[in-house]
Homo-oligomer: A and B are copies of this chain.
Amino acid sequence: MTTLTIHEAATTTGWSPRMLRYVEQLGLVASPRSAAGYRLYGPAQLQRLRTLRELLETHGVELGDVGFALRLRREPELATALDEWFEAEPQRPLLGPSTEMPDGDWLAFEQDKHSQLLTSDRRDTA
């Protein structure tokens, strides 16, 4: 069985040993340990590390983001809460920092539509 030490795994995957430990700390790729506590990287872990690296590069994602994605999978209620919030979207989200559209129309439309929905919740402290 080919199990590499952390340093070997690092050199073959392009991470640094430090980062391998960090990735494990984020809960993304953990390796089994030897009796003495050494991390033992097998083919499966190496594969995951390489695909993870590719994932980050091709999509411009950061480790923390993947960590959050992991959290989403661990906390379905969080995921559904977010889903609901986005789904309940009464307005169009921006496509960029400042995407302009010939609005004015959908403004009135949306607000009208929702003022109906929200009639019971009118407590403008104005």
Contacts and interface: CB of A to CB of B under 8 A. Distances in A.
Given A42-B94, A70-B86, A86-B70, A103 B32 contact: yes
B86 A27 contact: no
Contacts of A103: 32-33
B68 A11 contact: no
Copies of this chain, tallied across the complex: 2
A77 to B, nearest CB: 8
A61 B78 CA distance: 9
Given A8-B126, A126-B2, A55 B81 contact: yes
A51 B8 contact: no
Interface residues of A, number: 72
Nearest to A24: B94
Given A11-B125, A114-B27, A126-B2, A91 B58 contact: no
A18 interface: no
A88 B43 contact: no
A126 B94 contact: no
A48 B94 contact: no
A121 B44 CA distance: 11
Interface string A46-85: 1110011001001101000110111011110110011001
